[in-house]
Structure 1
Amino acid sequence: IGSRRERLFSRLGVQTAGDLLLLMPREYRRYVFVPIGTLRAGETAAVSGMVKKISLHPMKRGGSFISAHVADASGSISVLWFNQPYVLDRIAEGGWFIIEGRVREGRNGKYLEPVAYEEVDEEEGGFLLGRAGAGIIRPVYPLVEGLSQKMVARSVSLAMERLLPKLDEHMPPEILKARALPDIRSAFALVHAPENADDAELGRKRLAFDELMLFSLAVLARKKKRQKVENRFRIMETALVRERIMKRIPFALTAAQERVIGEIKRDLAAPHYMNRLLQGDVGTGKTVVAFYAMLLTVAAGRQAAVLAPTEILAQQHYAVLSELLKGSKVRVECLTSAVRGERRRSALEAAASGEAGIVVGTHAILEKKVVFKSLALAVMDEQHRFGVMQRRRLREKSGGDIHTLLMTATPIPRTLALTLYGDLDLSLLDEYPPGRAQTDTRLVPAGRENEMWMFARKRAEKGERVYVVVPLIEESEKLDVAAAVTLHRELSSGVFADLPVGLVHGRVNSAEKEKTMARFRSGAVPIIVSTVVIEVGLDVPEATVMVVMNAERYGLSQLHQLRGRIGRGRKRSFLFLVPGAEDDTARQRLRVLTETRDGFKVAEEDFRLRGMGEFFGAKQHGRSEFVVADLTRDYDMLAEARETAERIIENDPGLKKSEHQGLRHRLLEVFGARLPLVDVG
């Protein structure tokens, strides 16, 4: 296709001929072709003809129009584009085009005002004309500047001609039959050259099931492999250790916390390493569960590391653990970029000698200079902020595999969690500690913002804390800062004129941010305006009011997490959602938060409304593994694929049976070195 076109296709994610097969149409357009000679004024129709002549004409009152003379065997018609001079560069005389539009009657006879057009080969144009009167469905592919539909469609067609005859079926026939899915060659043909919309969807479903199934097999195979690695750190709990740990926890554990601790204890003592994801709604007590696991590890003479995504959270974990362990022999150290000089040197020595039983930090823990004597447990808070490489680097510091406990306050629908994190065991904290205050969530009607601000002021005057959150504008950090600075100035000179108001935004350095947050925690600054999503896990029990401006810009799950930053003490708390625009759909979506505090119900609704990328934050958690599958649209299929993969891996972990050889080869093609099949079974 040439080097220039190759570069253009690479911008669509197409590197190989096989990628062309997986370039899914973004939509399908249905045409009913009419011979030009039979067109009637007033009808909307599609024609297939050759451009005989095309020219640009000025209009008396300004602007211009393009006139093209288009003909087929039955007649000809003028096609007029008004104020679209760029069309002249896209349509050439002698080219064959499909043109759809409204037939109008002008002074010089009938003309076609187009709404869509597409260049095709003359052979194809003639074929389409021959099917006049019949509805024809055509794929519409994604494009970049420099590529036309004709180029892409032709390239896809060539790839199909060359590759489909060589494509062997990899899915066992009984699996396809049970779901009435077509074979792989037919699936690609249905997607790229469907007879109707149902055909196109059937082909897409087969390819989507393929992706979901292969991904599920890959993560389950990885899990099987890990279960075969012998646990060097089998940690057993004794009655004495249990007694000592419970003395360090100043409150009774909930039944959910006891259940999850039981799951973790079994993991630590098992023949293979723990690799567990702990999901817990905001405020359900994940930190205490992790603390229990850390103390079990230290009691066995080993070390634990806690990895937090931000300095503020790392410092908070360090403060909480230090308080819980005050007066004990367990030494806790903190390693972040802000820890320097003698304190840093001392922390590094303590980690290397084993004197520090627990080391808390940010990515700084992963630096080569940080050495552990006997690291056995890694706890990762808000695990979706960390990639596979970070987890691997922590394992390397132990000279082999270690126990891993990943924690998240992002409620992930169960089927989704089982698939995306299928190589992990899942634990769920679904119970709140007694005594935690209720948080009221209110959608602020237009025109009543002043009442809200006066309410917030009264709470601040009583010694409580108020968060004011301004959403991120991804396209421009300057706009983020400007929005926060403007609101901060308005509030400081207006309703909060005699109260200190803090300001945190993307251009505030970490030291200044920590200083502001420390003053907020102490009460010296009772109100804070921030563009930063208040970090998950940030604990200020006196914070009882949060105002979220332009709340419709957030996903429901993000807002639910923000809600968890207040109501952490015993006082009733209030979340005010202020929409930035009068949009009934947005208000209806936000109303979900006023009706439930169940994070998993919120997550299911958020996922249903916003889809996969938006649910996690597209930049933060894009799943490049899925080219065809849409996890919102294919949610039910996701569960089927997972269950099918589980049955296969359970009976044939290495995919060595003859009926699974096709799957094995396809998995190795897709995942390559990332797939541990060669070591399994």
Structure 2
Amino acid sequence: MLKKELNIYTFGDLLEHYPHRHIDKTKLSKIGEINLHTEFIQVAGKLVHTEIIGERRAKRLVAQLKDDTGVLELAWFQGINWVQKSLTPGMSYLVFGRTGFFNGRPQIVHPEIEPYVPAQAKGKAFLEPVYPATEKLKARGLNGRQLGKLTYQLLTQIRPEDLPENIPDAIRISLKLMPRYEAIRAIHFPADPAQYQQALHRLKFEELFMAQVRLNLVRIQRHRASKGVVFEKVGDYFNAFYNQYLPFELTGAQKRVLREIRTDTARGHQMNRLLQGDVGSGKTMVALLSMLLAADNSYQSCMMAPTEILAQQHYTGLSELLKEMPVEIALLTGSTKAAERKKILKGLREDTIHFVVGTHAVIEDTVQFKNLGLVIVDEQHRFGVAQRAKLWEKAAVPPHVLVMTATPIPRTLAMTAYGDLDYSVMDELPPGRQPVTTVHRSEMARANVMDFVKTEITKGRQAYFIYPLIEESEKLSYEDLMQGYEQVKSFFPEPAYRISMVHGRQPQEQKDTNMQRFVSGDTQIMVSTTVIEVGVNVPNATVMVIESAEKFGLSQLHQLRGRVGRGSEKSFCILLTGSRASKEARERIKIMCATNDGFRIAEKDLELRGPGDIEGTRQSGALNFKVASIVNDKELLEKARAAAEKLCEEDNELKMAKNLILKAYLQSQPQKNGWGKIS
């Protein structure tokens, strides 16, 4: 039962099933002290009355406990006959439980209750652990208290050598960490709150430190074992573009990332770098310069995007930038015509095409490269690992990999979830970009919002109206969108205004046509679901109205906002909400209006939602912490990371005598999933 419900297979698993809180049994309160803010309480008094009330499912046992300040009602809905037999009216009892109120009177349902003898009670004062349990376990009589008794019995039988130290002494002593044996005992049964905090601190550090050591060892192993093509020089392609055709001065962040890529690709090991940059930070320019570096060394490059719209956009943008250069670039997607496709495949095989931009069409078996040296994956989370891996199988020596994402990742998360990768951060916007002004408006202000949009359109600008996608109901989403479309049309009647609409139910060809009409300026307004979240680039669009903004997550709101402010004109994002937004939704709206900084937004998103969804997508043991939190323990994570990096740099095979305890511990642990390369 413990195996199935709590994944407890061994004594070690039981010891690592930590209590989620402790009850302070050192304190005895009075019944009269109970108020609406009281959560748990321990009281002593005389049992004055017991009675069974109701029948069948409504049956319950009710008792009254009285002290010199008031009366507390006790109630049981299960095990009624057994409980009644064990209680004796007129006797004194010690009662503990979660308080509530029923008909205005204080009550504890299913309290912990035992006979109370003041002389004996003095020796019983302690912090009692409360363990997570499941309903199925509770039904079998294995509640949190029973788990505590099992753990207590186990702890009486184990010795320090049964729980050997796993952190090298020098690190443990320098950080004043409690020994492991003492910490395990104290996390369950601490003598006082201070000892519990010491134990918790030690075990949190241990979790974070072990994760960081594993990640560092994986990265070191990858650097040592993975062969890669060598980009020996910066040549004519790179230099000609940089000196003659670069449309703007690179930001400091772009220059830094290019230096990192240059170093990676010259070492003879496969580069595997995650490039995270906020919307509009200039990742595509870094990608282009990296491809030119590959071309200088006689290698081909492939850029893979998740949608045809984004692939087309990359192709158009790169073609425009390279129009004066002797570089061949091709676009390969599912809708590429047969004759053109044949020509592209021939060019890739014969190395007459330098760069190919495409969707998942580029990973098909018929696509063969003569000399693939660099693979760039845009918005990598939209591709499966197997899909991405197919690209590096197209070369005898694995090509260098640059994975790009416009979703800023909080530093704490990057250190844990992506610590096995080399990663670069671009946190500056290119010159000429103005920050987007974000405002919150209620449904009551719709007419004013529409007037503002009309003013922008009169200036020759364009606008988006975005409606939420309800994943559980495509039909509901479609109906909401159609109602919204009709509402927008009522404010912006044709032929004075021209409107495009894009949604998931449309055939791809119609979707592309409607999108293209907006991109070309043929329509002034785009009504859409979140299909335009990534990749649409319309510099002339200066207004985005997000309908029912309370239904969107923070990162999605930020991604959507990134579709405006892409030109030199001042841009606006208007968050329209209904009157019933939750507290969390209001918090999201508030942070969106306060900042354009995607990294700050990502940190807030992590605080609000926790890393759970990322654990799911990463399927990584890196985040399965029992006590540590990457949200609340940032400072401890920094210390763990610094200690792990120093140790791994000094002894990357853990051969030194002082590190053997750590090596033995890591080897004794079950193999974790997800420690390999992201790509």
TM-score > 0.5, shorter chain as reference: yes
Q: How does 1:627-666 map to 2 (within 5 A)?
A: 627-628=625-626, 629-666=628-665
CA distance in structure 2 between the partners assigned to 1:588 and 1:676 by the alignment: 34
CA separation of 1:507 and 1:129: change in aligned 2, threshold 3 A: farther
CA distance in structure 2 between the partners assigned to 1:31 and 1:506 by the alignment: 58
Residue from 455, 458, 462 that aligns with 1:458: 455
The answer to whether structure 1 residue 67 and structure 2 residue 61 are counterparts is: yes
Please tell me the residue identity of whatever aligns with 2:530: V
Please tell me the residue identity of whatever aligns with 2:645: E
- For residue 150 of structure 1, give the secondary structure of its aligned residue in structure 2: coil
Shift of 1:259: 3.6
Q: How does 1:187-266 map to 2 (within 5 A)?
A: 187-229=183-225, 231-246=227-242, 249-256=245-252, 257-266=254-263
More deviation in 635-644 or 460-469? Answer: 460-469
Contact 2:73 2:107 survives alignment (8 Å): yes
Aligned residue in 1 for 2:110? 117
More deviation in 302-311 or 335-344? Answer: 335-344
Residue from 144, 164, 167 that aligns with 1:168: 164
Contact 1:33 1:48 survives alignment (8 Å): no
CA separation of 1:157 and 1:548: change in aligned 2, threshold 3 A: farther
CA separation of 1:529 and 1:181: change in aligned 2, threshold 3 A: farther
Shift of 1:294: 0.9
CA separation of 1:623 and 1:232: change in aligned 2, threshold 3 A: closer
What CA deviation, in whole Å up to 9, does each residue of 1:402-442 have, x standing for no partner? 31212222233445434433333343334333333442222
More deviation in 261-270 or 390-399? Answer: 390-399
CA distance in structure 1 between the partners assigned to 2:212 and 2:221 by the alignment: 14
Aligned residue in 1 for 2:571? 573
Please tell me the residue identity of whatever aligns with 1:117: H
Contact 2:60 2:78 survives alignment (8 Å): no
- For residue 228 of structure 1, give the secondary structure of its aligned residue in structure 2: helix
CA distance in structure 2 between the partners assigned to 1:666 and 1:303 by the alignment: 45
Q: Which runs of 5+ in 1 are unaligned?
A: 82-86
Contact 1:385 1:620 survives alignment (8 Å): no
More deviation in 374-383 or 555-564? Answer: 555-564
Residue from 123, 141, 150 that aligns with 2:132: 141
Contact 1:302 1:376 survives alignment (8 Å): yes
Contact 2:499 2:526 survives alignment (8 Å): yes
Q: How does 1:425-504 map to 2 (within 5 A)?
A: 425-444=422-441, 447-473=444-470, 476-495=473-492, 499-504=497-502
Aligned residue in 2 for 1:272? 269
The answer to whether structure 1 residue 88 and structure 2 residue 86 are counterparts is: no
CA distance in structure 1 between the partners assigned to 2:64 and 2:348 by the alignment: 79
Q: Which runs of 5+ in 2 are unaligned?
A: 87-93
The answer to whether structure 1 residue 283 and structure 2 residue 277 are counterparts is: no
CA separation of 1:452 and 1:620: change in aligned 2, threshold 3 A: farther
More deviation in 289-298 or 183-192? Answer: 183-192
Shift of 1:662: 2.2
CA separation of 1:409 and 1:214: change in aligned 2, threshold 3 A: same
Aligned residue in 1 for 2:373? 376
CA distance in structure 1 between the partners assigned to 2:282 and 2:650 by the alignment: 38
CA separation of 1:67 and 1:551: change in aligned 2, threshold 3 A: same
The answer to whether structure 1 residue 150 and structure 2 residue 152 are counterparts is: no
Shift of 1:551: 3.0
What CA deviation, in whole Å up to 9, does each residue of 1:318-353 have, x standing for no partner? 332333344755433444444475554554454444
Shift of 1:539: 1.1
More deviation in 219-228 or 503-512? Answer: 503-512
Please tell me the residue identity of whatever aligns with 1:254: L
Please tell me the residue identity of whatever aligns with 1:612: P
Aligned residue in 2 for 1:84? none
The answer to whether structure 1 residue 316 and structure 2 residue 313 are counterparts is: yes
Please tell me the residue identity of whatever aligns with 2:543: V
CA distance in structure 2 between the partners assigned to 1:605 and 1:342 by the alignment: 50
CA distance in structure 2 between the partners assigned to 1:103 and 1:382 by the alignment: 50
Q: How does 1:311-390 map to 2 (within 5 A)?
A: 311-326=308-323, 330-339=327-336, 341-386=338-383, 389-390=386-387
CA distance in structure 2 between the partners assigned to 1:496 and 1:199 by the alignment: 71
CA separation of 1:361 and 1:190: change in aligned 2, threshold 3 A: farther
CA separation of 1:212 and 1:196: change in aligned 2, threshold 3 A: same
CA separation of 1:78 and 1:39: change in aligned 2, threshold 3 A: closer
CA distance in structure 1 between the partners assigned to 2:438 and 2:665 by the alignment: 49
Aligned residue in 2 for 1:668? 667
More deviation in 162-171 or 219-228? Answer: 162-171
Contact 2:27 2:42 survives alignment (8 Å): yes
Contact 2:186 2:195 survives alignment (8 Å): yes
Aligned residue in 2 for 1:532? 530
Contact 1:254 1:432 survives alignment (8 Å): no
CA distance in structure 2 between the partners assigned to 1:351 and 1:153 by the alignment: 67
CA distance in structure 1 between the partners assigned to 2:9 and 2:313 by the alignment: 46
Please tell me the residue identity of whatever aligns with 2:146: R
- For residue 397 of structure 1, give the secondary structure of its aligned residue in structure 2: coil
Contact 1:314 1:361 survives alignment (8 Å): yes
Q: How does 1:549-588 map to 2 (within 5 A)?
A: 549-580=547-578, 581=580, 587=586
Contact 1:47 1:129 survives alignment (8 Å): no
What CA deviation, in whole Å up to 9, does each residue of 1:265-306 have, x standing for no partner? 232222433232323222121101111111221232222122
Contact 2:64 2:74 survives alignment (8 Å): no
CA distance in structure 1 between the partners assigned to 2:350 and 2:152 by the alignment: 62
CA distance in structure 2 between the partners assigned to 1:650 and 1:575 by the alignment: 47
Aligned residue in 2 for 1:612? 611
Contact 2:24 2:126 survives alignment (8 Å): yes
More deviation in 215-224 or 173-182? Answer: 173-182
Shift of 1:369: 4.6
Q: How does 1:169-188 map to 2 (within 5 A)?
A: 169-188=165-184
Please tell me the residue identity of whatever aligns with 2:513: K
CA distance in structure 1 between the partners assigned to 2:621 and 2:97 by the alignment: 35
CA distance in structure 1 between the partners assigned to 2:13 and 2:362 by the alignment: 39
Aligned pair count reads 650
CA distance in structure 1 between the partners assigned to 2:413 and 2:289 by the alignment: 28
Aligned residue in 1 for 2:515? 517
The answer to whether structure 1 residue 398 and structure 2 residue 382 are counterparts is: no
Contact 2:621 2:672 survives alignment (8 Å): no
CA distance in structure 1 between the partners assigned to 2:164 and 2:124 by the alignment: 37
CA distance in structure 2 between the partners assigned to 1:127 and 1:506 by the alignment: 71
Please tell me the residue identity of whatever aligns with 2:518: F
Shift of 1:550: 3.4
- For residue 543 of structure 2, give the secondary structure of its aligned residue in structure 1: strand
Contact 1:284 1:431 survives alignment (8 Å): yes
How does the TM-score come out when normalised to structure 2?
0.81
Contact 1:66 1:80 survives alignment (8 Å): no
Shift of 1:255: 3.9
